[in-house]
Protein backbone atom coordinates (compact mmCIF):
# COMPACT_ATOMS: atom_id res chain seq x y z
CA UNK A 1 0.00 0.00 0.00
CA UNK A 2 2.81 2.40 0.77
CA UNK A 3 3.67 2.45 -2.96
CA UNK A 4 0.17 3.61 -3.98
CA UNK A 5 0.49 6.65 -6.23
CA UNK A 6 -2.03 9.29 -5.30
CA UNK A 7 -2.56 12.96 -6.25
CA UNK A 8 -0.52 15.53 -4.33
CA UNK A 9 -3.67 17.19 -2.98
CA UNK A 10 -4.82 13.87 -1.56
CA UNK A 11 -1.43 13.24 0.02
CA UNK A 12 -1.63 16.62 1.78
CA UNK A 13 -4.98 15.67 3.29
CA UNK A 14 -3.86 12.34 4.75
CA UNK A 15 -2.31 13.84 7.94
CA UNK A 16 -5.53 15.82 8.49
CA UNK A 17 -7.57 12.63 8.32
CA UNK A 18 -5.16 10.88 10.66
CA UNK A 19 -5.24 13.71 13.20
CA UNK A 20 -9.03 13.84 13.32
CA UNK A 21 -9.33 10.06 13.53
CA UNK A 22 -7.10 10.21 16.61
CA UNK A 23 -9.50 12.74 18.13
CA UNK A 24 -12.47 10.46 17.38
CA UNK A 25 -10.66 7.45 18.82
CA UNK A 26 -9.72 9.31 21.99
CA UNK A 27 -13.36 10.34 22.32
CA UNK A 28 -14.51 6.72 22.21
CA UNK A 29 -16.18 6.88 18.78
CA UNK A 30 -16.18 3.57 16.89
CA UNK A 31 -17.39 4.56 13.46
CA UNK A 32 -17.74 7.66 11.33
CA UNK A 33 -19.40 8.61 8.05
CA UNK A 34 -17.86 10.67 5.27
CA UNK A 35 -20.43 13.38 6.04
CA UNK A 36 -19.30 13.55 9.66
CA UNK A 37 -15.68 13.78 8.56
CA UNK A 38 -16.67 16.48 6.09
CA UNK A 39 -18.30 18.61 8.76
CA UNK A 40 -15.30 18.26 11.05
CA UNK A 41 -12.44 19.00 8.67
CA UNK A 42 -14.23 21.16 6.09
CA UNK A 43 -13.53 18.91 3.11
CA UNK A 44 -16.55 17.87 1.06
CA UNK A 45 -17.66 14.27 1.54
CA UNK A 46 -17.23 13.37 -2.15
CA UNK A 47 -13.57 14.38 -1.95
CA UNK A 48 -13.09 12.29 1.20
CA UNK A 49 -14.64 9.24 -0.45
CA UNK A 50 -12.50 9.75 -3.54
CA UNK A 51 -9.35 10.11 -1.43
CA UNK A 52 -10.12 6.91 0.44
CA UNK A 53 -10.96 5.05 -2.79
CA UNK A 54 -7.32 5.28 -3.90
CA UNK A 55 -6.54 2.75 -1.16
CA UNK A 56 -9.34 0.29 -1.85
CA UNK A 57 -12.47 -0.47 0.17
CA UNK A 58 -11.89 1.26 3.50
CA UNK A 59 -15.56 1.54 4.45
CA UNK A 60 -18.90 -0.23 4.09
CA UNK A 61 -22.02 1.16 2.45
CA UNK A 62 -24.62 1.93 5.09
CA UNK A 63 -22.07 1.60 7.89
CA UNK A 64 -19.41 4.20 7.17
CA UNK A 65 -15.85 3.77 8.34
CA UNK A 66 -14.51 1.90 11.32
CA UNK A 67 -12.44 4.45 13.24
CA UNK A 68 -9.88 1.98 14.62
CA UNK A 69 -9.36 0.33 11.23
CA UNK A 70 -8.91 3.68 9.49
CA UNK A 71 -6.57 4.87 12.21
CA UNK A 72 -4.43 1.74 11.88
CA UNK A 73 -4.40 2.09 8.10
CA UNK A 74 -3.31 5.73 8.04
CA UNK A 75 -0.80 5.09 10.80
CA UNK A 76 0.89 2.59 8.51
CA UNK A 77 0.61 4.76 5.39
CA UNK A 78 2.13 7.76 7.19
CA UNK A 79 4.78 5.64 8.94
CA UNK A 80 3.49 6.75 12.31
CA UNK A 81 4.79 3.57 13.89
CA UNK A 82 8.36 4.72 13.24
CA UNK A 83 10.10 7.69 14.83
CA UNK A 84 11.35 10.27 12.33
CA UNK A 85 14.31 12.29 13.51
CA UNK A 86 14.56 15.76 11.99
CA UNK A 87 17.30 18.38 12.15
CA UNK A 88 16.75 22.13 12.47
CA UNK A 89 19.26 24.39 10.74
CA UNK A 90 19.10 27.91 12.10
CA UNK A 91 18.10 28.52 15.72
CA UNK A 92 17.03 32.16 15.46
CA UNK A 93 13.58 33.44 16.41
CA UNK A 94 11.62 31.10 14.16
CA UNK A 95 13.97 28.20 14.78
CA UNK A 96 13.73 28.70 18.53
CA UNK A 97 9.93 28.60 18.31
CA UNK A 98 10.08 25.33 16.37
CA UNK A 99 12.46 23.83 18.93
CA UNK A 100 9.86 24.46 21.60
CA UNK A 101 7.02 23.09 19.49
CA UNK A 102 6.37 19.49 20.49
CA UNK A 103 5.91 17.76 17.12
CA UNK A 104 5.97 14.41 18.92
CA UNK A 105 2.80 15.25 20.80
CA UNK A 106 0.74 14.77 17.62
CA UNK A 107 3.01 12.71 15.38
CA UNK A 108 6.10 10.54 15.13
CA UNK A 109 8.31 13.53 14.28
CA UNK A 110 11.04 14.72 16.62
CA UNK A 111 13.71 17.38 16.20
CA UNK A 112 16.78 15.53 17.43
CA UNK A 113 19.53 18.00 16.48
CA UNK A 114 19.85 21.70 15.69
CA UNK A 115 22.66 23.78 14.17
CA UNK A 116 23.48 27.45 14.50
CA UNK A 117 26.30 30.01 14.25
CA UNK A 118 25.33 32.08 17.28
CA UNK A 119 27.84 31.46 20.09
CA UNK A 120 25.06 31.96 22.65
CA UNK A 121 23.12 29.03 21.16
CA UNK A 122 25.89 26.61 20.25
CA UNK A 123 26.59 23.80 22.72
CA UNK A 124 23.37 24.45 24.61
CA UNK A 125 20.17 22.41 24.85
CA UNK A 126 16.91 24.16 23.96
CA UNK A 127 13.54 22.47 24.11
CA UNK A 128 15.40 19.24 24.85
CA UNK A 129 17.37 19.52 21.60
CA UNK A 130 21.18 19.87 21.48
CA UNK A 131 22.45 22.72 19.30
CA UNK A 132 25.68 22.03 17.43
CA UNK A 133 28.00 24.47 15.62
CA UNK A 134 27.53 24.62 11.85
CA UNK A 135 30.92 23.07 11.19
CA UNK A 136 29.60 19.83 12.70
CA UNK A 137 26.43 19.75 10.58
CA UNK A 138 27.51 17.34 7.85
CA UNK A 139 29.10 14.97 10.35
CA UNK A 140 26.06 14.92 12.66
CA UNK A 141 23.52 14.55 9.85
CA UNK A 142 25.44 11.51 8.62
CA UNK A 143 26.09 9.98 12.03
CA UNK A 144 22.48 10.40 13.17
CA UNK A 145 21.21 9.24 9.77
CA UNK A 146 18.85 12.19 9.52
CA UNK A 147 16.86 12.33 6.28
CA UNK A 148 14.77 15.48 6.84
CA UNK A 149 15.87 18.99 7.80
CA UNK A 150 14.01 22.19 8.57
CA UNK A 151 15.79 25.23 7.13
CA UNK A 152 15.33 28.55 8.96
CA UNK A 153 18.64 30.24 8.18
CA UNK A 154 19.01 33.81 6.88
CA UNK A 155 18.21 33.92 3.16
CA UNK A 156 21.74 34.96 2.19
CA UNK A 157 23.24 31.66 3.38
CA UNK A 158 20.33 29.32 2.57
CA UNK A 159 21.75 27.98 -0.70
CA UNK A 160 25.24 27.51 0.74
CA UNK A 161 23.83 25.52 3.64
CA UNK A 162 21.68 23.51 1.24
CA UNK A 163 24.74 22.62 -0.83
CA UNK A 164 26.39 21.25 2.32
CA UNK A 165 23.23 19.35 3.27
CA UNK A 166 23.26 17.74 -0.18
CA UNK A 167 26.53 16.02 0.77
CA UNK A 168 24.66 13.95 3.36
CA UNK A 169 21.87 11.40 3.23
CA UNK A 170 19.14 14.02 3.62
CA UNK A 171 16.14 13.37 1.36
CA UNK A 172 13.85 16.27 2.27
CA UNK A 173 14.04 19.94 3.22
CA UNK A 174 11.22 21.98 4.76
CA UNK A 175 12.33 25.42 3.63
CA UNK A 176 11.16 28.42 5.65
CA UNK A 177 13.44 30.85 3.82
CA UNK A 178 12.18 32.98 0.88
CA UNK A 179 14.86 31.50 -1.39
CA UNK A 180 13.89 28.86 -3.94
CA UNK A 181 16.62 26.32 -3.41
CA UNK A 182 18.59 24.44 -6.03
CA UNK A 183 19.00 20.81 -4.99
CA UNK A 184 19.92 17.43 -6.48
CA UNK A 185 17.00 15.32 -7.66
CA UNK A 186 17.40 13.07 -4.63
CA UNK A 187 16.23 15.87 -2.32
CA UNK A 188 12.59 16.98 -2.19
CA UNK A 189 11.97 20.56 -1.06
CA UNK A 190 8.72 21.88 0.40
CA UNK A 191 8.60 25.65 0.74
CA UNK A 192 6.77 27.37 3.61
CA UNK A 193 6.49 31.07 2.79
CA UNK A 194 4.57 32.72 5.62
CA UNK A 195 4.45 36.11 3.87
CA UNK A 196 3.02 34.53 0.73
CA UNK A 197 0.42 32.63 2.73
CA UNK A 198 -0.74 35.79 4.50
CA UNK A 199 -0.91 37.72 1.23
CA UNK A 200 -2.91 34.89 -0.35
CA UNK A 201 -5.25 34.80 2.64
CA UNK A 202 -5.97 38.53 2.47
CA UNK A 203 -6.56 38.26 -1.29
CA UNK A 204 -9.16 35.53 -0.79
CA UNK A 205 -10.81 37.51 1.99
CA UNK A 206 -11.15 40.50 -0.34
CA UNK A 207 -12.16 38.67 -3.53
CA UNK A 208 -13.94 35.43 -2.67
CA UNK A 209 -17.10 34.48 -0.85
CA UNK A 210 -16.21 31.88 1.75
CA UNK A 211 -19.58 30.18 1.34
CA UNK A 212 -18.92 29.43 -2.31
CA UNK A 213 -15.18 28.86 -2.50
CA UNK A 214 -12.90 26.19 -1.11
CA UNK A 215 -9.22 26.67 -0.35
CA UNK A 216 -7.15 25.43 -3.31
CA UNK A 217 -5.37 23.12 -0.90
CA UNK A 218 -8.50 21.01 -0.83
Query: What digits encode the pLDDT tens for the residues 57-107?
Result: 676 666 788 888 888 888 888 776 667 889 999 999 999 999 888 665 556
pLDDT over 90 at 113, yes or no: yes
Q: Where are the domains of the chain?
A: 8-77, 84-195
From residue 17, alpha-carbon distances to 24, 28, 75, 109, 191 in Å are 11, 17, 10, 17, 22
pLDDT over 90 at 109, yes or no: no
Instruction: List pLDDT tens digits, range 144-167.
Output: 999 999 999 999 999 999 999 999
pLDDT number for residue 11: 84
Instruction: List pLDDT tens digits, range 13-25.
Output: 888 888 888 888 8
From residue 162, alpha-carbon distances to 34, 119, 170 in Å are 42, 21, 10
Regarding pTM above 0.85, the answer is no
DSSP state of 181: -
The CATH architecture one would assign to domain 84-195 is 3-Layer(aba) Sandwich (3.40)
From residue 106, alpha-carbon distances to 12, 52, 172 in Å are 16, 22, 20
Class assignment of domain 8-77?
mainly alpha
Q: When comparing pLDDT for 104 and 8, which is higher?
A: 8
Amino acid sequence: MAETKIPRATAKRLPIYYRYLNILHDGGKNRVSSNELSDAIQVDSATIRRDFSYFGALGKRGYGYDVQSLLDFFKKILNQDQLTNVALIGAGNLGHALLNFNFHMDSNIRISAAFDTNADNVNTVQGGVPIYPMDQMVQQLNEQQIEVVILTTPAKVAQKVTDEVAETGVKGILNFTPIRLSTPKKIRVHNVDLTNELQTLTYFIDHYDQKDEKDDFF
